[in-house]
Structure 1
Amino acid sequence: MLKRKIDHYIKRYYETTRNALLVTGARQIGKTYSIREFGKSFKSFVEINFIDNPEAVEVFRGAKGSADILFRLSAMTTIPLIKGETLIFFDEVQKCPEMVTAIKFLVDEGSYRYILSGSLLGVELKDLRSEPVGYMGIKDMYPLDFEEFISCVGINDKIIDSLRNAWESRVAVDEFVHSKIMELFRLYLVVGGMPAAVSKYIESNNLQAVMAVQQDVIRLYKRDIAQYDPDNKLYIEEIFNLIPPELDAKNKRFILKKLNENAKFERYQNSFLWLKNAGVALSVYNVEEPKIPLLLARSRNLFKLFQNDIGLLAAQYAEGIQLRIIRGEKNINFGSVYENAVAQELVAHGIEPYYYNNKKRGELDFVIELDGKVLPIEVKSGKDYEVHRALSNIMECKEYDLSEAVVFCNDNLRVEGKLVYAPIYMVMFLEKSNVAPTYYKVDLSMLQ
């Protein structure tokens, strides 16, 4: 059983609210498994999968009100519905969006608890016109992040806590521990965070078997492309196949002419968005200035495209690269895989990554908003990690007045002025703070 952060999130969610929860994300990332595990804590657990059971879509279509829905549900299952002690799970709800709308009435009725899951493949569930605001929370789920990965392969919580303390205190990690965690990070670049691939590695330590699982996932994604968007499937698959070579390019940005000599962004825009909304790829947009809020400085058609899972990226490269990555061979360009791993980690932690590019000052790999400030990030895979012209230019710019920057590299942690040189695995500690709400009340006493 893989230990996932989402398991704790779901448990806490249902302890603090009567609302339903919709868990979304790409295919094969473990949504259904985690929900089923949570379902074991109820006396009764009912699961309706709208892909495996397509007739269920017709059964619920046209239902009027909660009583009608529950009557139809009781006719579909032999599992007893126990008031207050039953969790009802609607899986793959993108096939039955009416059920998302109906959740409002079911939650209001109050007899049972509800949880939903859906892939973003072809359907933007978060943009449903009748999303039941106030009755349903939405949680995005991703492949295992690095902390989850090392926990699953045997690193105990005390070691992870010591690494977190080193990051927060800005002190070096014990050299033996550092070398072992770096070895695990290189392993993570190959295995990635797809639950089936991680499980296969844990049970076999066989990288060929892991890659076979990853290739199955890639084939599944390509079948979904053909199934969900047949009109644009050639564009989408071509872009998907171009992610690895584009990441190896000098500027890592998509050059549309590689798709078509006369290509225009408008023609391909929906294909890029499909990959992003499906959770199959991660887009990182350019910002014109490293100022808060970064969203306002975002460029609409300048972006980098990363694979949603670092292990799938490695599986798309030439065969045999896996062992060379684990050994840390110097003739491999680690830059692209390191950057993909960082992008994946940031997104999994709810942080929107951007990058900065300026002809005069140069390019920063990532810029993010953290604790109300802009944090520039450089990712360095080689020994020359202290050479970072663009980062130096930005940090010296009085206009931006940036207080700190991070250079993720292979070496141990140290601080030089405003620059934190940190081992690449410490990206797992970049997380949004759970800050308490800020309250403000206007004094109207003089007007009363």
Structure 2
Amino acid sequence: MKRKAYERIKFWKEHKGKQALLVTGARQVGKTFIIEEFGRTEYEHMVEFNLALNDTARKSFSQATSPDDLLLRISIEANEPLVAGTTLVFIDEIQQCPNIVTFIKGLVDKGDYDYILSGSLLGVELEDVRSLPVGYLDEFTMYPLDFEEFCWANGLVTTAFDIVRNSFTAMTEVPDFVHQRLTDLFHRYVLVGGMPAAVTAFLDHNTIDPVRAIQANIRTYYEHDIKQYAPKEHRLTIQEIYRLIPGELQSQNRRFHVNSITDIKRYAQIEDEFLWLTRANVALPVFNVVAPTAPLITNQERRLLKLFYSDVGLLVGSYGKRSSVGILDGRASMNMGGVYENVAAQELAAHGFNHLYYFTKRNVGELDLLVETNDGDVLALEIKSGSYFRSHSALDKAMSIPEYGIDKAYVFAETNVCEENNVTYLPMYMLSMLSNE
């Protein structure tokens, strides 16, 4: 599958200086595959170690006492000679042996070989690494396939998105034949999501049962990680939070109700558990702000939040199969508000918006999503799953309050491009046009 991460890794290779690359992300998003492909294509030699599967290497590396000692152990375990200047050393599942991360700096400084580290749950496991060197790691997070990558996998020519970008820039309607094709693919994306194994199963079989089986397995993997890596005293609560997400997203306002958790009354009681899930990249948090003004982070109110799955396919797959009826035609039998907001959160996170927010106030109403660009502009996003997408009283009220300073308002819905009264209406697939990278 063509992945944007390939170009990101290539950028590192061309500009790295004395830096290793750290690729993080949830399990099963395709990190290993894309790094292996890159290593085979861009280097004459590659040595690879999967510390989750290779017990010998893991035990040996964990005994290293210095950078030179680690390099010796790498050379012994390598399946081919290390050739200076032409070899990539790829250490996968680094969370199995996080203590060696500090030794990699010394090896990078030597400049003989390039180093890529990868793994899951690094936001959790690397919290415990002492004296983690600053500046020698170029880090980026991989996510499931975004919508554009899903379209590529389904055979859509890349020029189709050039047409969409032109329409987005000029704020003109997308030609009907492109609009219909992308709308159809978007509905398929809602069902399948962006986990590579699920997408492959969908392309191979064109039926939903193999996809749902893979989605169920991935959710099981995530729960296994909770049991293995989460602090023992928090495991049951973290697992319960993860399982509650689909039901909470079917509530009217999509907000996570803390009192849904057994014996919990206040967010402060379980803040660490929520943070564990988000640091593990299996859940996406959207925090409330007391006012939609820049900088949004200073207005954040952490006790109120929405919580989404990292992949919309995992979310839809968690509901009963009959809930999927009608999704392909845009007339789902279930409430799609939370599902469409999950797509939006997933796309925004993949496109560089590291902090997502929403806003609610009694005399205004609720704005589904707020993001802030690198330039400091605040964008208000309404996500509409039904046919009455031109009804958005909360957005209208918020836009009329000068001190809020909302710079741009978008309504994403089952529609084509149009503008009315300072509000821009965009088709759901145009979420892919918003980028903060």
Residue of structure 2 equivalent to 1:332: 334
Distance change in 2, residues 1:384/1:154 (3 Å): same
Q: Is the 8 A contact 1:21 1:136 kept in 2?
A: yes
Q: Distance in 1 between matches of 2:319 and 2:384?
A: 20
Say whether residues 1:192 and 2:193 are aligned partners: yes
Residue 110, structure 1, aligned to residue 114, structure 2: no
CA distance in 2: counterparts of 1:355 and 1:314, whole angstroms: 22
Please tell me the residue identity of whatever aligns with 2:218: V
Report whether the alignment pairs 1:374 with 2:378.
yes
Q: CA deviation at 1:120?
A: 1.3
Q: Which residue of 1 aligns with 2:366?
A: 363
Distance (whole Å) between structure 2 residues aligned to residue 221 and residue 63 of structure 1: 30
Q: Could you say which residue in structure 2 is the equivalent of 1:52?
A: 53
**Aligned residues of 2:325 and 2:333 also touching (Cα < 8 A):** no
- Which residue of 2 is the match for residue 404 of structure 1? 408
* Paired residue type of 2:96: K
Instruction: Verify the 8 A CA contact 1:23 1:31 in the aligned structure 2.
Output: yes
Aligned twin of 2:344: 342
Show the 5 A alignment for 1:190-269: 190-229=191-230, 230-260=232-262, 262-269=264-271
In structure 2, which of residues 313, 316, 321 is the aligned counterpart of residue 314 of structure 1? Answer: 316
Counterpart in the other structure of 1:438: none
The amino acid across from 2:430 in the alignment is M
Query: Residue 262 of structure 1: CA displacement?
Result: 4.8
Letter in 2 for 1:138: E
Establish whether residue 3 from structure 1 lines up as the match of residue 2 from structure 2.
yes
Secondary structure of the residue that 1:320 maps to in structure 2?
helix
**What percentage of aligned pairs have identical amino acids?**
44
- Which one-letter code corresponds to 1:38 in the other structure? F
Correspondent of 1:286 among 268, 285, 288: 288
Aligned pairs for 1:387-426 (under 5 A) are: 387-426=391-430
SS of residue matched to 1:279: coil
Letter in 1 for 2:419: V
Whole-Å Cα distance in 1 between the matches of residues 64 and 243 of structure 2? 43
What is the number of equivalent residue pairs in this alignment? Answer: 432
Alignment of 1:43-82 (within 5 A): 43-82=44-83
412, 432, 438: which is aligned to 2:436?
432
65 and 425 in structure 1: CA distance in 2 versus 1, 3 angstrom threshold: same
> In structure 2, what is the Cα distance between the partners aligned to 1:355 and 1:105?
43
Cα distance change, pair 225–182 in 1 and its aligned pair in 2 (3 A): same
Contact map agreement 2:64 2:100 (CA 8 A) in 1: no
Q: Following the alignment from structure 1 to structure 2, what is the Cα–Cα distance between the partners of residues 123 and 400? A: 36
1:140 aligns with 2:141: yes
Quick check: 1:35 aligned with 2:35? yes
Instruction: After TM superposition, give the deviation of residue 323 of structure 1 in Å.
Output: 4.0
String of CA shifts for 1:11-57, please: whole Å, max 9, x gaps: 12101123210000100000000110011021211111211123333
Deviations 1:115-138 (A, max 9, x none): 000111682437744332222111
Is the CA contact (8 Å cut-off) linking 1:367 and 1:374 kept in structure 2? yes
CA contact (8 A) 1:121 1:278 kept: yes
Match of 1:420, as an amino acid? T
SS in 2 for 1:231: helix
Is 1:15 matched up with 2:14?
yes
Q: Match for 2:8: what amino acid? A: Y
Report the equivalent of 2:85.
84
Structure 2, unpaired ranges of 5+? none
Q: Answer yes or no: is the 8 Å Cα contact 2:292–2:405 preserved in 1.
A: no
**Structure 1: gaps spanning 5 or more residues:** 434-448
Distance 1:286 1:128, change over 3 A: farther
Indicate yes or no: 2:384 matched with 1:385. no
Partner Cα separation in structure 2 for residue 286 and residue 124 of structure 1: 28
- Residue matched to 2:156: 155
CA distance in 1 between counterparts of 2:191 and 2:344 reads: 14
1:103-124 per-residue CA deviation (whole Å, 9 max, x = no partner) reads 1100111111100001116824
Distance, in Å, in 2 between the alignment partners of 1:386 and 1:320 is 29
TM-score w.r.t. the length of structure 1 is 0.93
Indicate the larger mover: 344-353 or 330-339: 330-339
SS of residue matched to 1:304? strand
Paired position in structure 2 for 1:443:
none
Cα distance in 2, alignment partners of residues 100 and 250 from structure 1: 45
Tell me the distance in 2 between the aligned counterparts of 1:59 and 1:325. 51
Retained in 2: the 8 A contact 1:172–1:413? yes
The AA in structure 2 aligned to 1:51 is: A
SS of residue in 2 equivalent to 1:406: strand
Q: Which residue of 1 aligns with 2:24?
A: 24
